[in-house]
Structure formats: C-alpha cells, structure tokens
Amino acid sequence: MRRLYTALFYAATPFILGRLAWRGLKLPAYRERWGERFARYATVPDGEGVVWFHAVSVGEAEAAFPLIRAFRARHPGLPILVTCTTPTGSARIEAVLGGTVAHVYLPYDLPGGVDRFLDRFRPRLGVILETEIWPNLYRECARRGIPLAIANGRLSEKSARGYGRIAGLVAESLAAVDLIAAQTPLDAKRYVAIGADPRKVAVAGNIKFDIEFPAPLREQASGLRETLFPGRPVWIAGSTHPGEEEQVLAAHALVRSVLPDALLILAPRHPDRFQEVRSLCYRTGIPLRCRGESLPCESGTGIFLLDSLGELRCFYGTADVAFVGGSLIPQGGHNVLEPAVAGVPVLFGPHMFNFAEIARRLEQCGGARLVADADGLAATVVGWLNRPDTRSEIGGKASAFVDENRGAVARVVELISGLLPGRLDSSRTVDT
C-alpha cells in the first residue's frame, strides 16, 4: 500500500507545486525555497546528530517553542533542527528561535527527498508535533534506527475516521514510532484504534497549557493599546476564515449600534487573504485602519485589520474580549489558550472539534462562552464590554485555568529524553 501511496504522491507533485505557485501570487514566500521541498538545502550547513523537531505550521510551532526551550535547557549540548512546511510557520520559527537552531522546510514525503534530508542532518531523534503521519519518512527513520516520537499527539474523531480508511498504511507507519505522548486519554485510545502499539502510548497532557504571557509581552500589549486606540472598548476576532469574517463583521455592526465607540481588531488566519479581508471590511462602510499602515486609529475608526505576522498573541492582550476563529464555520477552531493566558475572556463558536476538550473545560470553569452565531456573538460582546467587573472575573478564571493545567512540557521532555540513548525495542514500554 505504501508503494501505491508513493506513486500517487509522485503523480500529485505537479499539482502541489501549481498550488504553491498560485498561493504565491498573494504571498510571494510560497514561491520561494522550492528546493527545500525536495531536501536540496543549498545554504544550510551539514548537521550531525541533531535532535529534530517538526511543527507543520504556525500553530504547532507556537506549541513547540516551550518544548524546545525546555529540551535545550535539559540537553544544552545537543544541536537542534526545527522543520515546518509553511512560510508563516517558517517566519515564526525564525522570529522566535533565530540562529539558536537550524531551520529548513521538511521535504515532501518522497523517497529521494526523505533520503537526502536524513543524510544531510542525521538526526539522533525525531519529534513530530501533533498529528503528522508520513509513511516514507517514518519507514526510513525506522530502517536507519532513528527513534521517533509524536509529541502533543491529538486525533479528532474526524481524523481517526480518515486514517481508518487506510488502516494498513497507518499501522505500518505507526510501527516505526517509539513513543506517542498523547494529549488526553481519548486521543491515546484513538491512536491505539488506528494501529499504535498501546505499550508505546502515554498520556502526557497538552503542552499548549505551558504557554506564557510574560511581563514584557504584557507591557508591549499595554503600550500598543495606548498608542493605537486609547480609551476605546475593544474586542478582537483572531484566526478567522472565509465565511467567518462576514459573520464577525455583521456582529460588529450590531455591537456598534449599541456601542458606537467599539473597535474590532480583525486578524485573518492566513496572510495570503489579507487583501481579500481588507476589501470585505471596506464594503461594510465602517472606517478601517490597517496594522501595516503603522498609524494610530482615528476617533471614528471602527475596524483595525491585523495584517501582520506573529503579533496575534500580543494583540489578544490589547483587547477587552476575544473571539477565537475557525469556530463559526466547520474549521475546528483554534487555540483558545492564547487569549486565556492573557486574562482576556474568551468566546468561540460551535465548531471547536480540533480543541473540543480544552474548549469544553474552559467554558465549564467560567472562562469562556460558546456563541451560536453572529447575533449571539454581538450580544455577548456588548454584555461583556458593558460590564468591566464581569469581564475581569471571566478573564481571571480563564488565566487561572491555564495555570492550573501546566506541566505537560516537563512530562514530554522526560519521555522523549528517554529515547536519546537508543531506540526502544519491541519489548519496551512507556510509563503512563
């Protein structure tokens, strides 16, 4: 089955490159570094014995940063390589980790590229964040004796069903994995159901709870608020998607009918859509200011478009209320802990299947509320903006929820460190 998968991947490669070129019309970075997609790294020095972390895009990279820092603190002498597959993830890795790690794109899962990648960096350990299963890469790591771990592993019901349709290929791939550090018992159960060896599955918790909102970032957020929109009631919609911005903008029109001074910070998930969302905002007739203009909002400005990279977490800290996108449409939601750790009360829609457990628990503790549609979103935003004491109480519960659930990073570092001396054999298990 793996041979069929490889043949289909080869056949699809021209279409994949065509999509990169098309996306590059809006975001030129998609048209760059194509050689790295096939493990041709002209400007990267040879590595030897790296510990390799893979975070597919920006969300996984944000989760990986505390893990990488903690691992490096425990093993300061080991060189680290971080890979991803998107320009936004790459930009964030370079901004946060800079020259402290090697960084390249992970090549496509084709035999030639996989061989060149492993020959070039010769990893002593591979750590894959969340839900990434690459049959050729995993098989070659196993053949070379490179231990593999899936860290912060999660499987939604939808993903588990999808993998179940190619059960043989998935089971063969997971046989090459030495450790799966799952987020929850349900995730662990789903991994076993799709073919993972239960002796190599541990429940370690969600490393996203180890997110920080340190004092310098809090001060930066406060300064931005005073500079850009002082004295305004502010709410933010972060990581929004097509079909969702329209609902958010409709909600904002309702909010402004009650609170004319209210300002919406709108942050689309994908930078190649900035121009599209800018046009949507203009069509509302509500005065717009863009972050890229580097100018403060005027008194009549009603929308602030966050058309920049790497600033969402900081801007969550500038707001009085936060809505987390990907949730009013069937996208699965995004990380509600980013506003929660800043002490900002959180709203999300009904489609949170990628963060179902965290969203449920955050709502249960009183730090968040589920809204069904634009009307519900507007009503809750108005209610919270009008009640500072209530808002403060909800935000406090949100940040306390994050604090109470920290610790997964330390557990995962302990687990993956156990792989460093050598590969787990078939008789060895992990502590759960």
**Residues sharing a CB contact under 8 Å with residue 232, sequence separation 6 or more, in sequence order:** 261, 262, 263, 297
* Structural tokens at position 165: 């349709």
**Of 60, 62, 140, 338, catalytic:** 60
Given a contact cutoff of 8 angstroms between Cβ atoms, the answer to whether 149 and 177 are in contact is yes
Listing DSSP states for 161-207 in one string gives HHHHTTHHHHHHHHTT-SEEEESSHHHHHHHHHTT--GGGEEE---G
* Among the listed residues 252, 413, 387, 258, the one whose alpha carbon sits nearest the alpha carbon of residue 323: 252
Q: Using CA atoms, how far apart are residues 304 and 326, in angstroms rounded to an integer?
A: 19
* Among the listed residues 415, 353, 359, 426, the one whose alpha carbon sits nearest the alpha carbon of residue 160: 353
Q: Using CA atoms, how far apart are residues 159 and 213, in angstroms rounded to an integer?
A: 31
Residue 268 is which amino acid? P
Q: Using CA atoms, how far apart are residues 246 and 224, in angstroms rounded to an integer?
A: 26
Given a contact cutoff of 8 angstroms between Cβ atoms, the answer to whether 412 and 378 are in contact is no
Q: Using CA atoms, how far apart are residues 61 and 95, in angstroms rounded to an integer?
A: 11
Question: Which residue do the tokens 């987390």 mark?
Answer: 324
Computed on alpha carbons and rounded to an integer, the radius of gyration of the chain in Å comes to 22
269: which DSSP letter? S
Phi, psi of 310 (to 5 degrees): 80, 10
Q: HEC states along 125-148?
A: EEEEECCCCCHHHHHHHHHHCCCE
Q: Using CA atoms, how far apart are residues 114 and 68, in angstroms rounded to an integer?
A: 23
Percentages (nearest 5) of helix, strand, coil residues in the chain: 50, 15, 35
The 10 Å CB-count burial string (b at 16+, else e) for 319-348 is: bbbbbbbbbbbebbbbbbbbbbbbbbbbbb
Let me know if 404 is a catalytic residue.
Answer: no
Active-site annotation, residues: 60
